């Protein structure tokens, strides 16, 4: 799990890609009627979604969510949140969620705490660390958004994490490297690194699941 979190770097995404990431994560988390307001006026939310709830007294019902995606390198100040609060006040969803690629400033935290009790909807904040933990549970999302970058850079980061931090890459990461690197052009040291990782951690998986085995006969 730790090595998957290490692969998640929001700085590799632009604003639109971060919104798309949030959209796909919501689908994975069981939300329905997920609508991404891409390319136009968002009416106070980047994404709108519903979550079904099964209550023994009331039966099934849906809560309506407004989701605002904030892709920032630094802390998000209150003025970046204020207009979304105003829209939620006007349209009254059940929940307003801020999905933040960085973190809220202290002023934003204090302000949200002060206004929470006065709102008819619930306010939630998911910051960088929380988002990474959620995303790390979905390897297909990681592969789509974070393993599409420079394959050599990924190999170097994987080597560093293993040699310095003792983090063994996931099978998904190793598979991606084998399938996308030009093996013939790699130096011997990189070939040995991949060979050792595979045989010390994953070669026995062939006996359990032949569909997931890696072809390394060319090494």
User: Measured between alpha carbons, how far is residue 209 from residues 110, 115, 204 in Å?
Assistant: 51, 53, 9
Checking if the pLDDT of 217 tops 70, the result is: no
> Tell me: the pLDDT tens digits for 78-111?
999 999 999 999 999 999 999 999 999 999 999 9
> Tell me: the pLDDT tens digits for 19-76?
999 999 999 999 999 999 876 566 779 999 999 988 778 788 899 999 999 999 999 9
Distance CA 51, CA 35 (A): 13
More confident residue, 151 or 64: 64
Checking if the pLDDT of 155 tops 70, the result is: yes
Residue burial 112-145, b: 16+ Cβ < 10 Å; e: rest: beeeeeeeebebebbbeeebbeebbebbebbeeb
> Tell me: the pLDDT tens digits for 174-210?
887 888 777 777 778 888 888 888 888 776 555 434 4
């904030």: which residue's tokens? 70
Task: Answer positive or negative: Cα dihedral of 200, 205, 210, 214.
Answer: negative
More confident residue, 148 or 211: 148
């Amino acid at each position: 799990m730790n090595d998957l979190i290490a692969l998640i770097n929001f700085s590799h995404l632009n604003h639109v890609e971060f919104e798309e990431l949030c959209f796909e994560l919501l689908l994975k988390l069981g939300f329905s009627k997920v609508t991404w307001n891409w390319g136009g006026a968002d009416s106070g939310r980047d994404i709108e979604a519903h979550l079904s709830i099964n209550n023994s007294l009331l039966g099934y019902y849906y809560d309506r969510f407004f989701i605002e995606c904030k892709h920032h390198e630094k802390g998000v100040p209150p003025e970046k949140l204020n207009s979304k609060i105003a829209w939620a006040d006007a349209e009254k969803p059940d929940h307003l969620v801020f999905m933040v690629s960085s973190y809220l400033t202290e002023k934003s935290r204090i302000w949200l705490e002060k206004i929470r009790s006065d709102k008819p909807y619930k306010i939630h904040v998911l910051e960088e660390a929380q988002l990474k933990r959620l995303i790390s549970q979905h390897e297909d999302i990681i592969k789509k958004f974070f393993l599409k970058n420079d394959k050599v850079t990924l190999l170097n980061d994987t080597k560093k994490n293993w040699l310095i931090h003792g983090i063994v890459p996931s099978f998904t990461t190793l598979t991606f490297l084998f399938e996308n690197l030009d093996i013939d052009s790699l130096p011997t040291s990189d070939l040995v690194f991949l060979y050792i990782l595979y045989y010390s951690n994953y070669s026995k998986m062939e006996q359990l699941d032949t569909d997931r085995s890696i072809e390394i006969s060319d090494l």
